[in-house]
Structure 1
Amino acid sequence: MTLPHGWRGSEKPKSPMPNFLRRLKTTPKRKLALWAALGYSALVLGGALLGAEIVLRSKTRWVKGDFVPVGRRGNKLYLPASPETLSKGPLGIVPLLPNRGHLVVGPHRMVGTVVERPILQERGALPQGALAWVSTYLYNGTPAQLGAEYEDVLVPTEVGEMPAWHMPPRHAEKDALIVVVHGHGGQRAQALRMLPAMLRTGCGSLFVTFRNAYGAPKVGKGYLTLGDTEAEDVVAALAWAREQGYKRIILFGFSMGGNIVLSVLRPKFEPYPLPIVGVMLDSPALEWRDTIRWQAQRFGLPGFLARRVGRFTQRIVTQRSGQDFDVVDQIAAAPHFKVPILMWHGTRDHTIPLAQAEALYAARPDLVEFHRVEDAKHIRTWNISPKEYDGQLERFVARVLGRESCE
């Protein structure tokens, strides 16, 4: 065999250096440092601008879920595998128009490459092969999906009328009302999973929204204040409840809604239109600076960079909206709380750090009943064990109302 000219048998031919690496090697170090600084600054600024926009103005008309084709055989449904269809606990299935069915399906098991789930509840019809909305939130419409009686109402506030669903108590006179507040970018339908348990307590329920959320009045540039001014809309709901003949209030907040209902407890709103006897929190956002930093790390940024992006995001938010993050720091406000609190938070929550709920419990173990829910994602604590969650809710309501039973 003839060897290439100039190559010895014990040597390997050198591959030509790529042009980019050659140029990089010959570029002055000062210029490289400048490029690196510019790239770092662009990454921090870009991340902060995007983060600020999400914090200030995030809303959608759609309840989260997947759209998938659904097969059916008897009392079983068959779904393609996805993170949503493989989630623990029950799912809601809603075929797209013109069909108007609704199903609740139970725990999953794999059958070959598809997901099998038993049908637990069914309203209307689900045609074979229908394209359907599938979600861990179970419901994407109104209380009518559960067969519950309700009325659409408008809660008057200083900035306009807030849409709400009112479910009066089933078998009792108006006494206590549970005011339910959804989260950041959320919808009232997210809490419909808990409605049967709320109805069993004998209380009325009011699912209300707040300024700058989907379907609610826009104020100014439409910026959210993360619980601060939104609390005024919930206080207005208390005044509405008083006019309807209710005597006591329990607040129930999800995610940012948890911060909103805790913001209602500030001394500035006292005396309240009606007494607040208890608060329930599901996956609450208790400290926004920590949450923003957590979100930056969630998207893959290393810790030191996430902290920098988080700080810049906070500055941009404050410059645009005047946001005071101290005002919505509910962990710092914990010493001033006076009413019992029931709280759930999941160990797999990638939206709000579990450590925030743990900190609130550590600060007020005398007031807070805390349930750490293993394997639960954000606002999916109910899905892990619906009966257990419902029981905790019903017992808490009975306790704060001084009842031996819920009805």
Structure 2
Amino acid sequence: MSESRRLSFFERLNRTPKHRLAGWAVLGYGGLVLVGALLGTQILLRARSRWVPGEFVPVVRRGNDVLLPPSRETLSRGVVGIMPLLPNKGHAVLGPPSRAGTLVKRAVQQERGVLPHGSLAWVSTFVYNGTPRQLGVAYEDVAVQTEVGDMPAWHIPALSEEDRPGERDALVIVIHGHGGHKAQGLRALPALRRSGVASLFVTFRNAHGAPRVGRGNLTLGDREAEDLTAALRWAAQAGYKRALLFGFSMGGNIVLSALRPRHGPLPLPVPGVLLDSPALDWLDVARANGRRYHLPAFMAAHMAGVVKWMVTRFGGQNFDSVDQLAAAPTFTRPMLLFHGDRDRTIPVTQSDALAAARPDLVEYHRVEGAKHIRCWNIDPEKYDAAVEGFIGRVLGGVDND
């Protein structure tokens, strides 16, 4: 008697030839790797975010305390910034969080303008989303001329130049990261000011507000290093005698790329560099971000390999030219290095490796509990002290006094 019932999925699967199942599995696996690689390639090659990341929250003000609804930003460790949007604009820096019932309580540490009760505010671990004016610091908008167009920058003269204009010595050039903004580095500005140096906050090609080149693809630090070299030329023309380079995330790779011999002699002496959560090995970054999204290690490795091929094919990128760990033996300048052990964007193991490879050059601060480029937030006083101490040592004093 013939059986008319339908076979279940597992019964049909059991009757399918094994070679056909293997073929489907290979195709499925390849498809998943390809989709992940396409997404990863787009993220690596293009980043022109208009807004500094943050959240909008209602504010309850109780004296010097602010009560906020719980969220990823409001519960973050360490310091955050907050800017009321309604009914007025101002800016405040809030201290570490504690719980107050169902709300998050933070104390106001600094305040410019008013953070009123009942206002709607932007809150972020990036602390600042505007210009140096948010810190009460005067600055000038300048343009750094490059072969692909003018890069917008903020120039903040040294404090001493306010009394003795035209006398310039040392400048710190601050460069943001992948998908970032010049405001990313403003957390370090007070320490730079106290150190007696001037500063130049600059962007690079294909970032937001900067000239678009070709299809707008980034080169992960390689060609962007030419924009940093142009910033050094600007500094030399402005009368500065020497410069330190301060890079955040991909900005750290740009800094180290600019120091490599292939980019030629520098327009100004560079006695040292400062790095915060630097991207040192992009292939490792791709692998780590695959693991971040819970891919098995072998799949993350395969996906990273395809990402490397795609970035090379469509962006013309040579990964070796931005592999700063491989280049570590060639570095000659002192480095101040910060990296958080909770960084899920750039593995802290990269900075571990750089510090281990060059203990003769690297002063390493591995910050417990810090996420990507949030080392300052965990302990601003300790971070600032490290910056001020490093600048004092490598410059041997600043002729701006």
Partner of 2:334: 340
Partner of 1:76: 65
1:172-183 pair list within 5 angstroms: 172=161, 173-183=167-177
1:5-404 pair list within 5 angstroms: 19-96=8-85, 99-172=88-161, 173-403=167-397
Partner SS, residue 280 of structure 1: strand
Give the % identical residues: 61
Separation in structure 1 between the aligned mates of residue 23 and residue 264 of structure 2, nearest angstrom: 56
Separation in structure 1 between the aligned mates of residue 331 and residue 382 of structure 2, nearest angstrom: 26
Partner SS, residue 277 of structure 1: coil
Q: What stretches of structure 2 of length at least 5 have no aligned partner?
A: 162-166
- How far 1:23 sits from its partner (Å)? 3.7
Question: Which letter maps to 1:211?
Answer: R
Once the two structures are superposed, residues 292-346 of structure 1 have per-residue CA deviations (whole angstroms, 9 ceiling, x without a partner) of: 1111111110100000000001101100011100000111111111111110111
Query: Could you say which structure has the larger radius of gyration?
Result: 1
Partner of 2:164: none
Partner SS, residue 375 of structure 1: coil
> Quick one: structure 1 residues 164 and 228, their matched pair in 2 at CA, closer, same or farther if it must change by over 3 Å?
same
TM superposition score normalised by structure 2: 0.94
How many residues are treated as equivalent by the alignment? 392
Partner SS, residue 88 of structure 1: coil
- How far 1:255 sits from its partner (Å)? 0.4
Runs of 4+ in 1 over 6 A off after TM superposition: none
Question: Which letter maps to 1:333?
Answer: A
- How far 1:17 sits from its partner (Å)? 10
Partner of 1:7: none
> Quick one: structure 1 residues 234 and 22, their matched pair in 2 at CA, closer, same or farther if it must change by over 3 Å?
same
> Quick one: structure 1 residues 405 and 109, their matched pair in 2 at CA, closer, same or farther if it must change by over 3 Å?
farther
Separation in structure 2 between the aligned mates of residue 231 and residue 362 of structure 1, nearest angstrom: 25
The answer to whether the Cα contact below 8 Å between 1:253 and 1:281 also exists between their aligned partners in 2 is yes
Separation in structure 1 between the aligned mates of residue 96 and residue 34 of structure 2, nearest angstrom: 44
**Which stretch shows the higher mean deviation, 117-126 or 201-210?**
117-126
Separation in structure 2 between the aligned mates of residue 309 and residue 99 of structure 1, nearest angstrom: 48
Question: Which letter maps to 1:138?
Answer: V
Partner SS, residue 166 of structure 1: strand
Question: Which letter maps to 1:134?
Answer: V
Separation in structure 1 between the aligned mates of residue 281 and residue 153 of structure 2, nearest angstrom: 27
Question: Which letter maps to 1:108?
Answer: P
The answer to whether the Cα contact below 8 Å between 1:242 and 1:274 also exists between their aligned partners in 2 is yes
Question: Which letter maps to 1:43?
Answer: L
Once the two structures are superposed, residues 86-130 of structure 1 have per-residue CA deviations (whole angstroms, 9 ceiling, x without a partner) of: 111111111225621111111111011110111111122233222
- How far 1:181 sits from its partner (Å)? 0.5
The answer to whether the Cα contact below 8 Å between 1:398 and 1:406 also exists between their aligned partners in 2 is no
- How far 1:131 sits from its partner (Å)? 2.0
The answer to whether the Cα contact below 8 Å between 1:201 and 1:406 also exists between their aligned partners in 2 is no
Separation in structure 2 between the aligned mates of residue 205 and residue 69 of structure 1, nearest angstrom: 35
- How far 1:247 sits from its partner (Å)? 0.3
**Which stretch shows the higher mean deviation, 95-104 or 186-195?**
95-104
